[in-house]
Amino acid sequence: MSKAVWAYIGALLAFLVLDGLWLGVLMTSTYKELLGSLMLAQPKWGPAIVFYLAYVLGVVFFVVLPALARASARRAALTGAFFGLVAYGTYDMTNWATLQGWSAQLALMDMAWGGLLTCLASLSGYWAARKLAS
């Protein structure tokens, strides 16, 4: 399989596992406390699936493939962190600016998570492509 396919698989698996742990185990009560009635009882899986598939595609295209071209894990990590900070920042700052109940604490926490998560997913995609592509 091609490097891009392995990069996508590696990044997607890391993203899903880490974000699943973050949202489903570590931060469930924190999000419920901070978001209150804004949270649905059950997530809408269709939009969530579209987000995960599209976001990781963007990570691979804008972060992992350029890092592979330069053979630089450091570039994958740093660019991934920046990409995550900007993407999550767009979401969080917009929500903070327009929604009642969206706090600075929530925005900053979520942006930090987005940066770290995207950094780790980018590294996972990078290493999967380096090690598994033929």
Q: Which tens digit of pLDDT belongs to each residue from 13-62?
A: 999 999 999 998 998 888 888 888 888 888 899 999 999 999 999 999 99
60 Cβ partners below 8 Å, 6+ apart?
4, 7, 8, 11, 125
Domain that holds residue 40: 3-132
Number of structural domains found in the chain? 1
pLDDT mean across residues, the chain = 95
User: Other CB atoms closer than 10 Å to residue 113's CB: what's the count?
Assistant: 20
